Amino acid sequence: MARAFVDFAAARCVTVGSVLFFWYSSGTAAIRIMTVGPVCFMAKPTIRAVRELHEPAIGDAADLAQRLSGA
């Protein structure tokens, strides 16, 4: 669920930032929003890594092993 939210947030930032580039007066806001988009894209693998590190700690190593084996 968190990864889906991050994908949606990144897409929204890129879309809104792109639209804001149509007006010169909103150029600074567009740059800031377009900078947040890639940060959201970087958050997705971070969420996965934290999850994979947390699962063995809570005793869910079987689920992690199944996902890593590709089954």
Instruction: Determine the average pLDDT of the residues in 2-6.
Output: 84
Residue 54 lies in domain: 2-69
DSSP line for 44-61:
HHHHHHHHHHHHHHTT-H
Q: What is the pLDDT of residues 36-61, one digit of tens each?
A: 988 988 888 888 888 878 777 777 66
Q: How many domains does the chain have?
A: 1
Instruction: Determine the average pLDDT of the residues in 19-33.
Output: 94
Residue 23: partners with Cβ closer than 8 Å, 6 or more residues away: none
Can you give the pTM of this predicted structure?
Answer: 0.63
